[in-house]
Structure formats: C-alpha cells, structure tokens
Amino acid sequence: MTRATKLLAFSVSITSLFLTAQAIAEDILPRLSVPAGYKISYFAKDVDNARQMAVGKDGTVYVGSRKAGKVHALIDHNRDGVADKKILIAEGLNLPSGIALKNGDLYVAEVERIIKFSQIAKNLKAPKSEVVFDDLPDKRHHGWKYLTFSPEGELIIPVGVPCNVCAEDPKFGRIFSLNLETKKLSTIALGVRNSVGFDYHPKTGKLWFSDNGRDMMGDDIPPCELNRVDEVGQHFGFPYVHGGSVLDPEFGEGKKVTDYVMPALALQAHVAPLGIHFYRGKQFPQAMQHQLFVAEHGSWNRSKKVGYRVMVAKVENGQIRGYEPFITGFMENETTYGRPAAIAELADGSLLVSDDYANAIYRVSYNNK
C-alpha cells in the first residue's frame, strides 16, 4: 500500500467515525415511526448501553447494560411518562445485560454468576449485592444474558454458545431454570444458539424465546428464530439445523430437520431478535392483547442491513399468524441511528423500548380517544 493510499484509507476511516458519531449525536426521536394512534417519546436519555429493563411495583425502572457494565434505576416521580431521576446502582460488572425482579429483590446476570440486590427500592442510596449463584460458564462470547422468572418462581437463565458454531456442549446453548433455594440448575431447552429474550404467554404459560441464527453462511441464510417451548427438554436444532430448514455444512451431516423443533416463526437472516414481550396492558387496542412484541437489534454482518426495528407478531391459538412493523426508523440508507434491545411494560399499559446504541429508552403510548 502506498503512502497516498494509506492516507486516503485513514481519511475515509476518520470520516466514517465522524459520521457515525454525528449520527449518534442526532436526536433520533423524529426519525422513529409508530402506527396511527400511537405516540413515541423519550422515557429517558443518556442511559449507557441500555439493555433489559425490569419495572418495580412503585414504577421504578431498572436497566441493565452490556459493555457499559452498569445497572441504573430510573424514577418518574410525577408519573408524566418521563424519568426525572437516574441512579447508578452498580458499575464495573461483567456484561450485566439481564435483570429481573422478584419480591422486591433485583437479580442481575453477569456472565459467570447471578447477583442480587435485596429490597432494592428501599436501598437505592446504598445498594449492596450478594452472589446467589456462581456456577455459570465464564466465556464472554454470547455470555451476556436475559432473565425472567417462571410462573413457578424459578429464575430462567440462557447460556449462549461461545462461538459462531461449534459442537454441542451441555454447559452451553441451552435455557436453564434455577431453583434459588436448592441452587439446582435444570435444562428447559436445548439446541439454542444465543437467546437474549423470552417471555411466558399470559394465558397458556408457555415459554417463548428469540434465538439469533449463526453467521458466515451468506446474506440470506440461516433464519433467526422465534420459538415456543411445549415440553421441557425440547431440542431446537443448533448446531445441526438452523431456522428449522437449513442443515449446518459442518455439523448437519446425517441429521434431519424433522428431528428437531421447528421455529414458531423463521425470521429473516441476521435481523438479530433480542427482547420479546407479550402485551398485557389495557391502554393499547384490544387487538394488541397478548400479542408478541419483538426487538430486532439489527444485522452486523450483511451486505445490506436488516432488522433495526420493533415488530409485533400476531399470535392466535399458539400460532403466529402475522408479523408486522411497529417501530421503524432506527436505520435509514445503511446508516444506523439506534438499535432496539428490550421491551418492558409500565403499569399504565404503555411500553418501554431500550436502545443500547442511542443510549435511550423510549415510551410508546396510545391515544384511545
């Protein structure tokens, strides 16, 4: 490479970085679109790398992060739909993406362990953590997590595979259930590459989860997935079958797609579905009741970007009958302005959407007049 070429490449790189920083600095809100009757606004800005959220009984919103290593509490004192106070609960944690609340205690998933902040609402000024489980793998590749509690009260924990694609290992590629009293870890689902979002259906009680498909097979294969667990211990295909239809070129030899659970919905390749949430509130139209909202974080390894939106899957009798855009505008003309990561619901029935790229949390409300 000549000196002139190196200078040109350096100039292009600096320009690209400047444009990226400029895009992040822009106010993303005017770019975002929601269906008629809905309104999107900021619940909070400047929340570093915002990921999964958990809403306390008092309305406090707790937010995890990934690379930022922080957990925040956001308080909307006057209930106007905008957080007016941000409190740093913890920092220096190991990819604390997943959080969940139970009986007033805040559980936070690091890569290798689960920690707990007891009665967090009463101890925001001086929060103290304790380790409740520390026998998880310490691999950071797909090591960040998502948390929820099962209807039976067990903590649901995913462990992604430490690779793009690799041989099946009982420590990885699964969704586990942790009994917090006995510390027993049980497998709920196998063959799960990297789930960073799940929710229980409000009526059937079945666990639904998103899964990110493998990379390096091209722009359009294999699909990402939305899945439903009908029986404990079902195998969803990884690393042998992807998206219910694609045999892995290395691990798929001698396997049949019919030997594994088919996705509830095969999504476009590389859209990267993260947080999912069944709507339970009363503010949105009745047609939205128990519909599944999906945060598509967006592709990083495709010649043309896809995802970068919030979708709604129309679920009827346990089957997905439609899949439609709900929030768009996070990406335009190959420029990224935001990346939706997770979804939560406030007591008034409005939805919160975290954005770990724009460091923001949006609130979606509906004007039913």
Give tens-digit pLDDT for 160-169. Answer: 999 999 999 9
Contact criterion met (CB below 8 Å) for 277 and 292: yes
Q: Which amino acid is at 233?
A: G
* pTM given for the model: 0.92
Alpha-carbon distance 243 to 76, whole Å?
41
d(CA 324, CA 164): 29
Q: How many CB atoms lie within 10 A of CB 17?
A: 10
Distance of CA 24 to the CA centre of its chain: 20
Domains along the chain? 37-366 (2.120.10.30)
Q: What is the pLDDT of residue 343?
A: 98
> pLDDT at position 368, please?
65
234-235 and 185-190: which strand pairing?
A: parallel
pLDDT tens digit sequence for 196-241: 999 999 999 999 999 999 999 999 999 999 999 999 999 999 999 9
Query: What integer is the mean pLDDT of 123-146?
Result: 97
Tokens of 117: 């902040």
Q: What is the pLDDT of residue 369?
A: 59
69, 96 Cβ separation under 8 angstroms: yes
pLDDT per residue as tens digits for the range 305-339:
999 999 999 999 999 999 999 999 999 999 999 99
Q: How far is CA 287 from the centre of its chain?
A: 24
CA distance linking residue 87 with residue 266, whole number of Å: 39
- Where residue 367 falls among pLDDT bands split at 50, 70, 90? confident
Q: How would you classify residue 142: left for phi > 0, otherwise alpha for psi between -120 and 50, otherwise beta?
A: left
Contacts of residue 128, defined as CB under 8 A and 6 or more positions apart, other chains included, come to 117, 118
